[in-house]
Amino acid sequence: MNFSDFNFEQSLQDGLDAMQFKTPSPIQELAIPIISSQKDLIAVAQTGTGKTAAFLLPVLNRLAQNNIQSTNTLIIVPTRELALQIDQAIQGFAYFTGATSQAIYGGGDGAVFETEKKALTQGVNIIVATPGRLMSHLNMGYVKFDQIEHLILDEADKMLDMGFVDDIAKITTYLPTKRQTLLFSATMPPSIRKLAQKLMVDPEQINIAVSKPAEGVTQGAYLAYDSQKNKLIKAILHEKEYSSVLIFASTKQKVKDLHRDLYRIGLNAKAIHSELEQKEREEVLRSFRNKQTQILVATDILSRGIDIEDIGLVINYDVPNDAEDYIHRIGRTARASSKGVAYTFINDIDQQKFQKIEALIDKEVEKIPLPKYIGEGPIYNPKSPPPKKSFSKSRPPRR
């Protein structure tokens, strides 16, 4: 199948051609016809599947086809980074269609708030917003959402994890009841089903997210005490040259400490965590994206949703608490079918957590011996029997 089979407006097809999008990904093949037919849709899909284009293209096509000028689509997302990224994707796809968009997210100064206010009052076609910031604008009373035809919730599970459920419910009260609602989520816990029941009418459901990392990722694990981890990172980086390296650590403090350590020995590293100002975060991401920075040390802020191309190596400095987060973290590499490497450091107390991950991905990850000069690491001896596989086959929500 080809994108041209969707018979998009020529101006949209021109954008796809310019971006060299030729073959639709599975989620695009499935979702685009459903969305184009104006039905509500629940899509279980991780980042990396091409879900962004899956929801943007049919919306942009409709805008172009009907020459719509009003504020037509609201996309709600959990983080500022994802808001910016989707806004940028819109600008790419809509380059020749003339559709307009604005990202609305927290942080920034008064001038940014004014720009957002202007977009919300004078009308852009697509608003991409984080819930908290959008609520601030809605509370001021000037936002007109009466022409909204599409509501899109992206990374819905993450938004619920972050406690945005009430904000989302509140936001929907500002929207016409007659609208199309699309919900994208990497997982489908009962809380998401409940939300879907509230917001959607007779939704179709598609499920692309198998709880499996992308095919191209080579996974390995090292058993290492915390005191050995920094040496191990240096050893790995010394052994092979990777163009872009993303290191996830579980806490802000660990991110800061590790960054300092890497920086001190002359490595080209930067850190990103919630203490940074929005501007600083964007700056760090930009320099990592355009390869001025080789190594980025991050908290989970980056594990979902953010698309950075060509990351050769992902290191989990510690085992993620949530097995699904492991898949998100290592999903930063091997994007769009390229090859990547993901290493996880397992200390003496994280072993059962790692065993859960192996159960989720239904695969035993190779344990690589530490280089001799780092000394002996802990022995791999998870105490519990392997947990049952926990990936759920999602059913359509009860209607």
Of 331 and 377, nearer to ligand AMP (C-beta) is: 331
- H or E stretch covering 54: helix 51-65
Cβ 89 to ligand AMP shortest distance, Å: 7
Residue (of 157, 113, 110, 151) closest to 132 by Cα position: 113
Indicate whether 25 belongs to the interface with ligand AMP (CB under 6 A): yes
Site stretch for ligand AMP (CB under 6 A), options 50-58, 124-132, 340-348, 367-375: 50-58
Indicate whether 299 belongs to the interface with ligand AMP (CB under 6 A): no
Of 56 and 319, nearer to ligand AMP (C-beta) is: 56
CB 86, CB 103: distance < 8 Å: yes
CB neighbours of residue 293 within 10 Å: 18
Show the CA angle centred on residue 369, arms to residues 365 and 373, nearest 5°: 150
Separation of alpha carbons 359 and 340, rounded Å: 21
Indicate whether 307 belongs to the interface with ligand AMP (CB under 6 A): yes
Indicate whether 51 belongs to the interface with ligand AMP (CB under 6 A): yes
Indicate whether 185 belongs to the interface with ligand AMP (CB under 6 A): no
Beta strands in 11-106 (DSSP E): 41-44, 73-76, 101-104
Phi, psi of 22 (to 5 degrees): -110, -55
Return the residue of 6, 15, 24, 74 that touches ligand AMP, per CB under 6 A: 24
Of 80 and 356, nearer to ligand AMP (C-beta) is: 80
CB 232, CB 374: distance < 8 Å: yes
Of 49 and 181, nearer to ligand AMP (C-beta) is: 49
Site stretch for ligand AMP (CB under 6 A), options 16-24, 101-109, 187-195, 320-328: 16-24
Cβ 189 to ligand AMP shortest distance, Å: 20
Pull the structure tokens for residue 244: 């872009």
Interface with ligand AMP (CB under 6 A), residue total 15
Q: What is the DSSP letter of 387?
A: P
Q: Are strands 295-298 and 150-153 parallel, antiparallel or unpaired?
A: unpaired
Indicate whether 368 belongs to the interface with ligand AMP (CB under 6 A): no
Of 49 and 347, nearer to ligand AMP (C-beta) is: 49
Residue (of 120, 134, 44, 117) closest to 80 by Cα position: 134
Pull the structure tokens for residue 211: 């709880």
Indicate whether 78 belongs to the interface with ligand AMP (CB under 6 A): no
Of 34 and 224, nearer to ligand AMP (C-beta) is: 34
388's CB contacts (< 8 A; 6+ apart) are: 359
Of 25 and 181, nearer to ligand AMP (C-beta) is: 25
Indicate whether 261 belongs to the interface with ligand AMP (CB under 6 A): no
- Strands in 180-185's sheet, in edge-to-edge order, are 101-104, 126-129, 73-76, 150-153, 180-185, 41-44, 204-207
Separation of alpha carbons 227 and 140, rounded Å: 51
Indicate whether 328 belongs to the interface with ligand AMP (CB under 6 A): no
Cβ 22 to ligand AMP shortest distance, Å: 6
Indicate whether 282 belongs to the interface with ligand AMP (CB under 6 A): no
Return the residue of 62, 259, 332, 335 that touches ligand AMP, per CB under 6 A: 335
Chain residues binding ligand AMP by CB under 6 A are: 21, 23-25, 28, 47-53, 307, 335-336
